[in-house]
Amino acid sequence: MANAVSTPITFTKMRPPQARGRGALSNASGRFERLQRVALDGVVDSPALTPRAPVPLRADPSHETRCARTTVTLERARRIITTNSSPDIAFDQSINPYRGCEHGCVYCYARPTHAFMGLSPGLDFETRLFAKPDAAALLARELSRPGYKPKVIALGANTDPYQPIEKRYEITRSILKVLAAYNHPVAIITKSHLVSRDLDILAPMAVRGLVKVCLSVTTLDPKLARAMEPRAATPARRLQALARLRDAGVPTGVMMAPIIPALNDSEIESILERAADAGAAQAGYVLLRLPLEIKQLFSEWVESVVPNRAGHIMRVLKEMRGGKAYDAEWGARMRGKGPYADMISKRFRKGLRRFGLNQANLSLSTMHFRPPPKPGDQMELF
């Protein structure tokens, strides 16, 4: 009998559906999972190819649209201060009150960390959040340890400390209260106007040189901002927050992170000008980074949102990364290499000079650090 000739079966990846108010278009399994699930246009018996269950949807009572539900799990952490030794990062201590971030920034470099939780860096990252309610108590314990040496703590180095759930949990506010009590310096970075809620804590800290706040502004176009950062504050509200902080005496800066070639790099000068007008004293930038799962997530997004420019954007990014989508080399990973990267750097430096940014030294003080007295402690004579 002649051998039967099998016809190869091909499957086409489905166009990922986009949930309203979310950044990622897909929710692929994390890289540490034993089974990798992808959505396919066809029925497949293999469990490894079974599409991942979709994120539950519910009617949003405040909108006519439907959006993916946000769930919050309370995490009982053992420590709250995280350290790093990266040579191209300006701090070596940080605190993250939350894991995952509801802002949903499609390009967020923190997305791959959700894989350590057995979750997807896609929609899971912005819908399945973790909060650390014991953060303030843990921080007080760590700052009180004998031999602790104060260094600036970065608040929001991984996920935004003022994402929407902060309104309910107020973990960031509780952390600031501890830092203020210990006279410990802190640098905050956020995309939220909610930071101005805590001016009653921040303004007195600023008098003692203990705090500075950086607002991340990636675009002045509200439509583009809503597509890239669906649940973050509008650009206008971020600039308003800068002005409120300045008026209260809190040193401020602006971060254009990330700069995406052929998408928002045309706004470098206008963002610097508006930030300076709002009271920012410093500014910095980071080139778009696409490590691990972010490459696929961003590619899906850019092809869906700006299909006419998607190919050009990815091509220029690779030119700035030595032909790769991402290069993790220290120093170069934040800025890129080549003519396009050099042009961005020169434009940014020129903009700093033109608008008077980075002229003042906003270094924070550690000289005031001291654990607050406990009940029963003797008062100091002097």
pTM for the full model? 0.87
Q: For the chain, first and last CA: distance in Å? A: 103
Q: Which pLDDT value is given to residue 18?
A: 61
Contact between 198 and 208 (Cβ < 8 Å):
no
Q: Which pLDDT value is given to residue 47?
A: 39
Closest among 147, 207, 210 to 178, alpha carbons compared: 210
Closest among 192, 51, 182, 46 to 122, alpha carbons compared: 51
Q: Which pLDDT value is given to residue 41?
A: 54
pLDDT in 10s for each residue of the chain, 382 residues: 444 443 343 333 445 556 788 999 999 988 888 777 666 654 443 333 333 444 343 333 333 234 578 999 999 999 999 998 888 788 899 999 999 999 999 999 999 999 999 999 999 999 999 999 999 999 999 999 999 999 999 998 889 999 999 999 999 999 999 999 999 999 999 999 999 999 999 999 999 999 999 999 999 999 999 999 999 999 999 999 999 999 999 999 999 999 999 999 999 999 999 999 999 999 999 999 999 999 999 999 999 999 999 999 999 999 999 999 899 898 889 999 999 999 999 999 999 999 999 998 889 999 999 998 876 565 554 4
Which two structure tokens, joined as six digits, stand for 353? 């000079």
Q: Which pLDDT value is given to residue 31?
A: 86
Alpha-carbon distances of 320 from 202, 286, 341, 347, rounded to whole Å: 39, 13, 6, 16
Domains of the chain as residue ranges with CATH: 71-354 (3.80.30.30)
CA 158 to chain centre: 6
Residues sharing a CB contact under 8 Å with residue 92, sequence separation 6 or more, in sequence order:
83, 84, 85, 151
H or E element in which residue 238 lies = helix 235-247
Half-sphere exposure of 294 (CA within 13 A, CB side): 18
Alpha-carbon distances of 34 from 13, 105, 236, rounded to whole Å: 21, 27, 44
R_g (Cα) of the chain, nearest Å: 23
Alpha-carbon distances of 334 from 37, 289, 326, 342, 351, rounded to whole Å: 31, 7, 10, 12, 19
Task: Return the ∠ at Cα 207 (arms to 241 and 168), rounded to 5°.
Answer: 45
**157 vs 75: CA distance, rounded Å:** 18
CA 301 to chain centre: 17
Half-sphere exposure of 286 (CA within 13 A, CB side): 19
Strand boundaries in the chain, DSSP class E:
57-59, 66-68, 71-74, 82-83, 93-95, 98-99, 128-131, 153-155, 186-190, 211-216, 252-259, 282-287
Q: Which pLDDT value is given to residue 32?
A: 84
Q: Which pLDDT value is given to residue 63?
A: 35
**69 vs 82: CA distance, rounded Å:** 29
Which two structure tokens, joined as six digits, stand for 7? 């016809």
Q: Residue 112 in 3-state DSSP?
A: helix
